[in-house]
Structure 1
Amino acid sequence: MNLNKRRLIFCTFVYSCAAIGLIGAALGTKRWVVASARRTSNTTESVGQVNLGLFHGDKYLNIGYGLRTYSVDVIEMMKTDPDMMVYSLWVLTVIGMMAGLTMAVAAAVFAVINSAITPISALAGVPGLYFWNISAIFFELFAGGLWVAQYYQRLQFNVMSKDDRRNKWTSDGNASLGFSFWFVIFASLLHMINVFTVFWATNSRTRKSPSPIIEEKTNGAIMLY
């Protein structure tokens, strides 16, 4: 593998690191779903905002006497209110995210290795680069797809706790997917770029100069004489 091809392979390391950062940010931020809220008994003065991540969230509610801020424990909320989310979808989303993160780290590590040497093992070499990146794409889109299903089944209708609903708060029709979710989609796009980059680096053909052929014919003519 020539120097230019190794440079292209190293570019996949950079993109993999960016994907790792996006996945980590998605896991740590609280914007997988965002929703505005209101009280059905006081729609003119009440205002609220709820932001939920996979594990934590924030809630800002104002019933007309000032804004109150609350922290949300998503896991605890699901325990006290099983109808809040489909638990199996949440678990599989988390598993998909962790698997995607693992594949992204592997893609980054083996990109560095392949930019320096030519490994003998298939999984450590170019076939492995395809495997790690395609696996990362699969798990990231798997997690993202499950969260979309979660959103359309439950979260678009309600992100409020039981106590909030007893106090006439509702978020029905006011929810949307937040930027934490889109981080996962962008990470999968980076791995797609990696796949095309590896293909370009390992399958590009440099045109051979015709001069060696001419030289060979000249040498043959000399030997004939």
Structure 2
Amino acid sequence: MKLNMFKRSMIYATFFGSCLCIALVVAALGTWHWVDATARGLRNPTVSEARISFGLFEGYKELTVGVGWRHRHLSIKTGTLPARRWAWCGTAAQLVVALAASGGACVLAALGAAARARCSPKPLLVCNCLTVLFTLGALAVWLTEFFLRLQHNVMSEEDLALSWSSDMTADLGFSFWLVVTACITAFVNNVCILIAMSDGRDVDTSAPALEEKVNGAIMLY
């Protein structure tokens, strides 16, 4: 049985969707804008200001009290990253699994679209379901940390001792929304696969070939 053009097109479309998921997850892992926040010094709020942005592994903090900006690097290696260890570990680990699932879906989609014979799209569906599942898990872990802690404080203990406050000034940055987009893309891939699976029209190439042989034999007689 040979795949019809519609099924082949739907499966091939998921190849580009999986490539997009890979790019989005890699960008989310590498960028420093999972949380963006501002802060004020309570002792002299009119001249003190701070800007903080950080990702899963690194970030930066800029502070001023009216005499110039001081720049500080945030890193999990030095323990200065505001997010707690369980949060960034859980988020990063699930994104790595989602990345591997997207890579598998990308390979399966390419092979499925290129195959001449009909092949089961179920492994491709499983890979995309795993991508959706683990991106949702990563988002859930990060949102839990954000609402429980980060929206109330992203400052270090040293800054808190100097009366800096970032209470309710934090926002989810674009790195977070890249993962949301990856999750939606993987879900759209699943929809395409289910549509392809529900379409029962396949081109049967054996019947025309048999008919051609019979016609040839009749002509010989």
State TM-score, norm by structure 1: 0.83
How much does 1:32 deviate? Answer: 0.6
Q: What residue number does 1:47 align with?
A: 49
Judge conservation of contact 2:74–2:80 (CA < 8 Å) in 1.
Answer: no
Judge conservation of contact 2:80–2:156 (CA < 8 Å) in 1.
Answer: no
Q: What residue number does 1:221 align with?
A: none
Q: Are 1:200 and 2:200 counterparts? A: no
Amino acid in structure 2 at the alignment position of 1:111: A
Alignment of 1:152-171 (within 5 A): 152-171=147-166
Judge conservation of contact 1:38–1:46 (CA < 8 Å) in 2.
Answer: yes
Are the structure 2 counterparts of residues 118 and 138 from structure 1 closer, same or farther at C-alpha, using a change threshold of 3 Å?
Answer: farther
Root mean square deviation of aligned Cα: 2.2
| Aligned-partner Cα distance in 2 for 1:167–1:111 | 56
Q: Are 1:144 and 2:139 counterparts? A: yes
SS at match of 1:70: strand
Are the structure 2 counterparts of residues 75 and 149 from structure 1 closer, same or farther at C-alpha, using a change threshold of 3 Å?
Answer: farther
Q: What residue number does 1:97 align with?
A: 95
Q: Are 1:63 and 2:65 counterparts? A: yes
Q: What residue number does 2:13 align with?
A: 11
| Aligned-partner Cα distance in 2 for 1:98–1:165 | 34
How much does 1:75 deviate? Answer: 4.4
How much does 1:89 deviate? Answer: 2.8
SS at match of 1:69: strand
Q: What residue number does 1:107 align with?
A: 105
Judge conservation of contact 1:140–1:187 (CA < 8 Å) in 2.
Answer: yes
Runs of 4+ in 1 over 4 A off after TM superposition: none
Q: Are 1:184 and 2:179 counterparts? A: yes
| Aligned-partner Cα distance in 2 for 1:130–1:73 | 37
Judge conservation of contact 1:134–1:191 (CA < 8 Å) in 2.
Answer: yes
Are the structure 2 counterparts of residues 78 and 65 from structure 1 closer, same or farther at C-alpha, using a change threshold of 3 Å?
Answer: closer
Q: What residue number does 2:207 align with?
A: none
| Aligned-partner Cα distance in 1 for 2:87–2:117 | 39
Flag structure 2 segments of 5+ consecutive residues without an equivalent: 202-221
Are the structure 2 counterparts of residues 126 and 43 from structure 1 closer, same or farther at C-alpha, using a change threshold of 3 Å?
Answer: same
| Aligned-partner Cα distance in 2 for 1:176–1:11 | 34
Are the structure 2 counterparts of residues 141 and 107 from structure 1 closer, same or farther at C-alpha, using a change threshold of 3 Å?
Answer: same
Structure 1 residues 170-179 or 132-141, which shifts more?
A: 170-179
| Aligned-partner Cα distance in 2 for 1:146–1:78 | 20
How much does 1:180 deviate? Answer: 0.6
Q: Residue by residue, what CA displacement relative to the aligned partner does 1:44-91 show, whole Å, maximum 9, x if unpaired?
A: 011111001000001111110112222111342268xxxx54432322
Are the structure 2 counterparts of residues 31 and 199 from structure 1 closer, same or farther at C-alpha, using a change threshold of 3 Å?
Answer: same
Flag structure 1 segments of 5+ consecutive residues without an equivalent: 207-225
Q: What residue number does 2:79 align with?
A: 77
Q: What residue number does 1:213 align with?
A: none
| Aligned-partner Cα distance in 2 for 1:182–1:106 | 23
| Aligned-partner Cα distance in 1 for 2:116–2:190 | 18
Amino acid in structure 1 at the alignment position of 2:32: K
SS at match of 2:168: coil
Judge conservation of contact 1:49–1:59 (CA < 8 Å) in 2.
Answer: yes
Q: What residue number does 2:218 align with?
A: none
SS at match of 2:38: strand
